[in-house]
Structure 1
Amino acid sequence: MTSLSLYGLGDKVTTTVELKVYLTQDLDSRFRKAAMSAFGYGRGSLSKAAAEALARWCSEREGTPTPIATSAPTDETNSSFEDVEQDNMGNSGEDKLRRSVQPAT
C-alpha cells in the first residue's frame, strides 16, 4: 500500500508505505501501552509511535540527528493506516488494548 500524504516536515510531501513486522506478545503489549500513553487512544497512535521509533533507530545507526516532524498527520493520513492497525477480527489493536486494560466488572 502506498499513499500520498502531507505528513512530514513543513510543506514537504512524503509517501507513506505499509510495513508489516512480527513482534513477541510482550513487546507488542509494551509498545501499544507506550504508544497510547504518548499519543492517546485515537486512530494513528501506533503509526506515529512506530514512525518515531524507527526514525530514532535509523538515526542512531547512521549517526545523524532525527528530524522532528513539524505537523501532525491529518485525518486522511490517519485513515490510510486503518488497515495496518486492524487485527483479524476487524477490531483495532487500540480497541483490543483498551479492553485488555479495563478492569472486569
Structure 2
Amino acid sequence: MPSFDITSEVDMVALRNAVEGANRKINGRYDFKGSDARVEQAEKLLTLHADSDFQLEQMLAILLPEMTAKKIDVRCLKHGDVQKVSGNKVKQELTVRVGIEQEQSKRIVKLIKDSK
C-alpha cells in the first residue's frame, strides 16, 4: 500500500500581517477610541484584549475576515474561554492549530485502509 503524508500548516508571516491589519482597523474605529482593545501574537497563540464582551465579539468580526483575506483558514483557530481580567476587562486566547491531532489522524488512516 502506498504511503502518503497529510500536512496542515499556517503561514505565520501572513498571520502576523493579518494581526497587524486587524490592530490598525481596531485603532481606527470610533467605537474603540480610548479603549485598551488589541490583538497580541506570541508564536501560535493570539490573545484578544478588550474592555467588554461586546468589544471582544467586534474584534473577532475584524480579525477573522483579515485572516481570510490573507488566505488563512479560520478553522485552524481553537477558541479559548473568555476570561475576566480586572473590572470589566476581558481577554480570550486563540490557539493556532498546526497539523492533525493523533486521534483524528488514526481515524483517517483507518478509513483509508478500510476503503482499500
Taking structure 1 as the reference length, what is the TM-score of the superposition?
A: 0.32
Q: Which has the higher strand share?
A: 2
Taking structure 2 as the reference length, what is the TM-score of the superposition?
A: 0.29
